Structure 1
Amino acid sequence: MTGFFLHPNSKEEIIDSYDEDIIVTNQDGFIVKASQISGRHYGIQAGELLGKSVYDLEQRGIFSPAITPLVLQQKKKVVVIQTTTTGQKVLITGMPFFNEVGEVEFVLSYSYEVSELLVIHEYMKELEQEMLLTKEELSLLRKEHLTIEGLTIENRSTRIAFETARNAAPHDVSVVLYGEQGTGKSTLAKVIHNESTRKNGPFIEIDCETIPEAMFERELFGGSFEQTETGLLTLAYGGTLYIKRIDKLSIHLQGKLLKVLKERTYTPIGAEVPLPLDVRLISSSETILTEAVSANEFHKDLYYRLHIVPIHLKPLRDRKGDISTLISSYLSRFSMKYQTVKELSDEVFNQLLHLQWPGNHNELINVMERLVVQSPSTIITAKDLPPEYRKETDEDLSLIHLEGLTLPTILDNVEMKVLRDAQMRYRTTTEIAKYLGISQPSVVRKLKKYTDFE
């Protein structure tokens, strides 16, 4: 112990420490030094311990067992749980100090109440959990920020989709992105392009739903019309062509696209000489293509050409973790954009979190911008929600079903709901503790009680 010295002729003294419970005994078992807080576990003052024999104190039932004789006997560090006269359990660690001839001359012991150690243990487990989460986040941050424009990576399913995309990106294979409109498919397609060997080439998009069928072939292949037009396959040369909503492409045009992919060449309309195809194809679909194949609505051979790496993006209603982060992100973004400071009330936050969001990302952006612009006060309340998003909550405490429930059960139900709501809104137990006005160890214990938190 650096800076701590023992001398053979040391007088009995109180060590100037209010933080550590330290006691020093000589080889005869008499206490020669004690810190300011020593004796608190035994219900006596530190000064009263000086000069006392640990053998005598043990015989009087002040504590049991005495650690000094154990250290003297074993001549090494000893750890025991000691029971005091007040019934407390104390963890005692004894350390031997040897003289020049190798005999134990002094025994230094320090102690912690077991209940304190349990709190420390829980805190360390919580710290370990947060460090594990931090390591996972850092692993992703080495590759990309967690929030990309249009794609937030908090939910487990989103992480899986993102990692699948990252793994597929370096390989020049076709990828199909599945998901409802607004779930981030276009953004993920750009991530794949930017992580591929074609990142310095163009990224070209074409939407099968917005381009009339009669114009689609002309857009894709180009050709000589009133004036020569360059097709998207030519524009995308050396880069990536992203075909959106390929499930909307007609069977006729599917056949033409399949021919191009098979032959790796295409001929612009009106031209005679075919051009080489050098594009990486990424497509998206709002319906599962296997179902379209079964219904004879999608060409089976084209499906096999495209469906090398399928990636599924779930709708926001199934990604509560992503919604929570997106709400905070857009609140901050639009507050900065309109040079204001806005906060969401807990009621509004929880309502937004549990909405179905059929329009997914685009709908959420719209609602958050409206709230920031239209709310007259700093705190955005339920009255500020657009009319179509206002709803009466059936989770008000006044509507809890009381019949047949005991008061402890009712209180547990309320506490469980509050904790789960807080867990949705805040990322760490430290933030939850600050929000609820309780200690972090209390938050950890309660989360273990009501959730699968580990």
Structure 2
Amino acid sequence: MTGFYLHPNSEQEIIDTSEEDIIVTNHKGIIVKASKISGKYYDIDPTQLLGRSVYDLEKEGVFSPAITPLVLKKQKKVVLVQTTPNGQKVLITGIPFFNESNEIEYVISYSYEVSELLIIEDYLKELKHEMKMAKEELTLLRKKNLKIEGVVVENRSTRRAYESARKAAPIDVPVVIYGEHGTGKTTLAKTIHNESARSDGPFIIVDCETIPEALFEQKLFGMGNEKIGLLSLANRGTLFLKGIDKLAPHLQAMIARTLQEKKYMPLYAKEEMPLDVRVISSSEIQLNELPSFQKDLFYMLHIVPIELKPLRERKQDLSYLIPIYLQQFSLKHKIECSLRDDVYNHLLDLHWLNNHYELMNVIERLVVQSTSAIISMEDLPTEYRLPMEHGRYHVELEGSSLPIILERVEKEVLFNAQERYRTTTEIAKYLGISQPTVVRKLQKYGEEED
């Protein structure tokens, strides 16, 4: 029978069980209880775990990774696969215990050794379904090239980026594409793939930002006898590491090791698999400016760097994209419409902080919401409209001094920008002022409204 007590004065007591691997840590990450078999996976006597910090044990490579910090961060149950110092894989479940103030007082974790014969139903049901869909997609990808639509190369910087891409495409080397969200990094990556010697192979996207850390290794390497993971699906094709700058450092190290060794081991498999992929990655930030980014991975990926400028710096591209998207959505919704010249010129002057995604959204909204076949300034969404009259800002001058007029215009511009952009950082970028200035002015004008 298992005895399990959380008394204030029992921190040195070992949980009385020989059947389960249970460890209890407090909110500071200190181990306060451990069962009799808790150290067997780590070659440590359980009494030596008591009083130790999980943060120190993680640094020493005993817990890789530690589960308590993740539970404290996410404030909920966490499940992950942990690698022990002797190379074993164990399934760890961490559960938070809250006190009367609804704060985590303890984290209880329990673990099981995972073997080839152990089937984790919750993982495999999801995995098998996803792998089935990926197999079907892979079959289609092998039969035909990916279709690239909406590529406009008019701006000088865009031409330079695509020239670099086409030059690098036939050479089987890594490429890293830099650019803000929505600048067309995935489209450029597909173009490189299509013009490479691997064009008949698959183009597999690994979204480094959206795949949960606990599942990343499983989805990348595959699991069990089927050994189907994103690496195996990308075999003899291109692996696109989308948003590599969002990947945790320990996962960066794992990818660097895999690329260096050119082989990998699916989870719970006995045989290593050869790695035959061309790697393209993307990042919103220059990787050498990220202090936490693994240097060895940086030097592996940063062979051919290509930068895509934002749309606000590519007026020539923008001038072509606006009518292209207008035609595209007109055909899609079977609505024939056109833009007035002042609307077209106004769209050219906007900043488009979310680039293609934002531009496409606004054009589609104009097509489906316009009240006539000719789209006017009145059809623009409010947040994209400034108070204008005959092409000039309309300001009431009668009986007002210049400071009052300027303040009135500033207030109107700020409120319009606030409707359009989600954060004060984006507003500051759009208006060309500092973020603290934006916060201060919004607070000032907000108080006046009250």
For the superposition of Structure 1 and Structure 2, which TM-score range results when normalised by the shorter chain? 0.5 to 0.7
For the Cα contact (< 8 Å) 1:150–1:187, is it kept in 2?
Answer: no
Q: 1:237 aligns with which of 235, 238, 256?
A: 235
Pairing 1:161–2:161 present? yes
In structure 2, the partner of 1:328 is 323
Rounded to whole Å, the distance in 1 between the matches of 2:156 and 2:181 is 20
| Aligned-residue offset at 1:388 | 1.1
| Aligned-residue offset at 1:229 | 5.2
Q: 2:269 aligns with which of 247, 271, 275?
A: 271
In structure 1, the partner of 2:338 is 343
Q: 1:299 aligns with which of 294, 304, 314?
A: 294
Which stretch shows the higher mean deviation, 213-222 or 386-395? 386-395
State the one-letter code of the partner of 1:342: C
| Aligned-residue offset at 1:336 | 1.9
In structure 2, the partner of 1:391 is 386
**Deviations for 1:231-290, whole angstroms, at most 9, x for unmatched residues?**
111010000000100011111011111111111111111112111100000000010001
After superposition, residues 288-437 of structure 1 pair within 5 angstroms as 288-292=286-290, 295=291, 297-393=292-388, 396=391
In structure 1, the partner of 2:212 is 212
Question: Tell me, what secondary structure is at the counterpart of 1:383?
Answer: helix
For the Cα contact (< 8 Å) 1:174–1:307, is it kept in 2?
Answer: yes
| Aligned-residue offset at 1:397 | 6.0
Give the direction of change, closer, same or farther, for the CA distance of 1:303–1:150 in structure 2 (3 Å limit). Answer: farther
| Aligned-residue offset at 1:151 | 2.9
Aligned-residue sequence identity (percent) comes to 58
Pairing 1:174–2:174 present? yes
Rounded to whole Å, the distance in 2 between the matches of 1:196 and 1:289 is 25
Rounded to whole Å, the distance in 2 between the matches of 1:150 and 1:364 is 13
Rounded to whole Å, the distance in 1 between the matches of 2:235 and 2:186 is 19
Deviating beyond 4 angstroms after TM superposition, the runs of 4 or more aligned structure 1 residues are 397-400
Rounded to whole Å, the distance in 2 between the matches of 1:270 and 1:332 is 52
- Give 5+ residue unaligned stretches, structure 2: 1-146, 396-450
In structure 1, the partner of 2:278 is 280
Larger Rg belongs to: 1
Give the direction of change, closer, same or farther, for the CA distance of 1:172–1:396 in structure 2 (3 Å limit). Answer: same
For the Cα contact (< 8 Å) 2:150–2:324, is it kept in 1?
Answer: no
| Aligned-residue offset at 1:399 | 7.9
| Aligned-residue offset at 1:346 | 1.3
In structure 2, the partner of 1:84 is none
| Aligned-residue offset at 1:394 | 8.5
Rounded to whole Å, the distance in 1 between the matches of 2:185 and 2:280 is 10
- Give 5+ residue unaligned stretches, structure 1: 1-146, 401-454
Give the direction of change, closer, same or farther, for the CA distance of 1:213–1:395 in structure 2 (3 Å limit). Answer: farther
For the Cα contact (< 8 Å) 2:165–2:306, is it kept in 1?
Answer: yes
Pairing 1:188–2:183 present? no
| Aligned-residue offset at 1:395 | 8.3
Rounded to whole Å, the distance in 1 between the matches of 2:392 and 2:377 is 17
Rounded to whole Å, the distance in 2 between the matches of 1:269 and 1:395 is 66
After superposition, residues 96-111 of structure 1 pair within 5 angstroms as none
Q: TM-score, normalised by structure 1?
A: 0.53
**Deviations for 1:145-180, whole angstroms, at most 9, x for unmatched residues?**
xx9524321111000000100000000000000001
Give the direction of change, closer, same or farther, for the CA distance of 1:393–1:288 in structure 2 (3 Å limit). Answer: farther
Report how many residues are paired.
249
Question: Tell me, what secondary structure is at the counterpart of 2:223?
Answer: strand
Give the direction of change, closer, same or farther, for the CA distance of 1:277–1:381 in structure 2 (3 Å limit). Answer: same
Rounded to whole Å, the distance in 1 between the matches of 2:286 and 2:222 is 30
For the Cα contact (< 8 Å) 1:178–1:185, is it kept in 2?
Answer: yes
Question: Tell me, what secondary structure is at the counterpart of 1:243?
Answer: strand
Q: 2:257 aligns with which of 237, 256, 259?
A: 259
In structure 2, the partner of 1:110 is none
In structure 2, the partner of 1:223 is 223
Rounded to whole Å, the distance in 2 between the matches of 1:399 and 1:362 is 30
Rounded to whole Å, the distance in 2 between the matches of 1:395 and 1:180 is 34
State the one-letter code of the partner of 1:151: V
Give the direction of change, closer, same or farther, for the CA distance of 1:298–1:177 in structure 2 (3 Å limit). Answer: same
Give the direction of change, closer, same or farther, for the CA distance of 1:273–1:255 in structure 2 (3 Å limit). Answer: same
**Deviations for 1:337-367, whole angstroms, at most 9, x for unmatched residues?**
2223211111111111111111110111111
Rounded to whole Å, the distance in 1 between the matches of 2:171 and 2:393 is 58
